Amino acid sequence: MKELVNYILQFGNLNQQQIDLILSKGEEREIRKENYFAEAGKVAAEVGFIIDGIMRVCYYDNKGEEITKYFIEENNLVVDLESFDNGICSSCYVQAVTDCKLIVFSKKDWQELLDTIIGWDTIVHKIISKALIQKVARRSPLVSEDATTRYLSFMKLFPNVINRIPLSYLASYLGITQSSLSRIRKNIR
């Protein structure tokens, strides 16, 4: 749980009692590679914090193609905010790309913490804004880059990930086909 505490304290101060309260609500959970943390069609009812591993958020487009929207790495919250906040069905799956270890909060506990701990809401909002800003910042440039540039940017961002994930996940994230990606890899070597 130390990782979570360190992470939280970057965004604001809490005393030991408050921290203990937060931790007391978190449940450790392991999710094996390829298993789901959340599924499309259901309402998100949990917030997760990834201690170890990589997850991805994906959906199916109107041609039935599976599209990876983004990857989430260790030390980040994972939750479909739109679904969680508004109680509407999620359109995305959240899947473990590698074996993962999470700390999970139920919506009820999460809400209770927000109501109880003064300043916790501010910290949560900072965390969430930062994550959302990061998502935009990562996803946005892809639109105007060519395939090779996209791949190189991804490599720079996730150098240690690239060989641990299936080609298909990465290709759909980059918006190119598997074969194109395979050729791009070849050309770079």
Partner DNA sequence: AGAAACATTTGCCAAATGACAAAAAAGAGA
Partner DNA sequence: TCTCTTTTTTGTCATTTGGCAAATGTTTCT
Which residues here bind DNA, judged by CB under 7 A? 146-148, 166-168, 175-186
- Residues 147-186 touching a copy of itself, rule: CB under 8 A, are 172-175
Q: How far apart are CA 137 and CA 147, in angstroms?
A: 17
Query: Which one, 20 or 85, has the nearer CB to a copy of itself?
Result: 85
Asked if residue 144 binds a copy of itself (CB under 8 A), the reply is: yes
- Three-state DSSP class for residue 164: coil
Pairing of strands 27-31, 93-96: unpaired
**CB closer to a copy of itself out of 35 and 177:** 177
123-to-23, 85, 114, 120 alpha-carbon distances in Å: 15, 16, 10, 5
In single-letter form, the type of residue at position 126 comes to: K
Position 143 contacts a copy of itself (CB under 8 A) = yes
Stretch that binds a copy of itself, among 13-21, 137-145, 152-160, 162-170 (CB under 8 A): 137-145
Q: Specify the stretch interacting with a copy of itself by CB under 8 A; choose among 23-31, 34-42, 134-142, 156-164.
A: 134-142
CA 56 from chain center: how many Å?
6
Nearest CA to 72 out of 87, 86, 58 is that of 58
CA distance 169 to 167: 6
CB of residue 160 to a copy of itself, shortest distance in Å: 23
Q: Judged by CB under 8 A, which of 73, 74, 82, 109 binds a copy of itself?
A: 82
Q: Residue 76, Cβ neighbours under 10 Å: how many?
A: 17
- Interacting residues toward a copy of itself by CB under 8 A: 61, 65, 67, 69-70, 81-82, 85, 121-122, 125, 128-129, 132-133, 135-136, 139-145, 172-175
